[in-house]
Amino acid sequence: MPLTMISVLVWDSPRYTRNLLDNLAGVTPGRNFHIRILDQGSGPETRDMIRAFLKGRPFASAEFLPANIGYGGGHNRVFDGLWRQGPFDYFVTVNNDLVFGEPGWLNTLVEAMEADPECGLGGPFCSRLEPKPDWPVEAFQIVPANAAQRRIGDFLFVTGAVAIMRVAAIRRLGLFDEVYAPAYWEDADLAARFAAYGWSQRFIDIQVAHGYLGHAERVNTAKLEELKARFGDFAIRNRDIYFDRWRGGRPVPHEADLRSAFPRLYMPGPPPA
Taking only the tens place, the pLDDT of each residue in 176-206 is 999 999 999 999 999 999 999 999 999 999 9
What is the 3-class SS of the chain, one letter each residue? Answer: CCCEEEEEEECCCHHHHHHHHHHHHHCCCCCCEEEEEEEECCCHHHHHHHHHHHCCCCCEEEEEECCCCCHHHHHHHHHHHHHCCCCCCEEEEECCCEEECCCCHHHHHHHHHHCCCCEEEEECCEEEEEECCCCCCCCEEEEECCHHHHHCCCCCEECCCEEEEEHHHHHHHCCCEHHHCCCCCHHHHHHHHHHHCCCEEEECCCCEEECCCCCHHHCCHHHHHHHHHHHCCHHHHHHHHHHHHHCCCCCCCCHHHHHHHCCCECCCCCCCC
As a whole number of angstroms, the distance between CA 199 and CA 190 comes to 11
Predicted confidence (pLDDT) at residue 137 exceeds the cutoff of 60 = no
What lies within 8 Å, CB to CB, of 273 at 6+ separation is: none
Predicted local confidence at residue 135, as pLDDT = 57
Residue 211 banded pLDDT, cuts 50, 70, 90: confident
Predicted confidence (pLDDT) at residue 248 exceeds the cutoff of 70 = yes
Mean residue pLDDT of the chain comes to: 92
Predicted local confidence at residue 232, as pLDDT = 81
Taken in order of first residue, the domains within the chain and their CATH numbers are 4-252 (3.90.550.10)
As a whole number of angstroms, the distance between CA 161 and CA 163 comes to 6
As a whole number of angstroms, the distance between CA 101 and CA 113 comes to 20
Predicted local confidence at residue 219, as pLDDT = 53
Predicted confidence (pLDDT) at residue 236 exceeds the cutoff of 70 = yes
The pLDDT of 121-134, averaged and rounded, is 88
Give residue-wise pLDDT tens across range 139-178.
778 899 999 999 999 999 999 999 999 999 999 999 999 9
157 neighbors 201 (Cβ within 8 angstroms):
yes
According to DSSP, the β-strands at 140-144 and 157-158 are unpaired
| Confidence (pTM) | 0.94
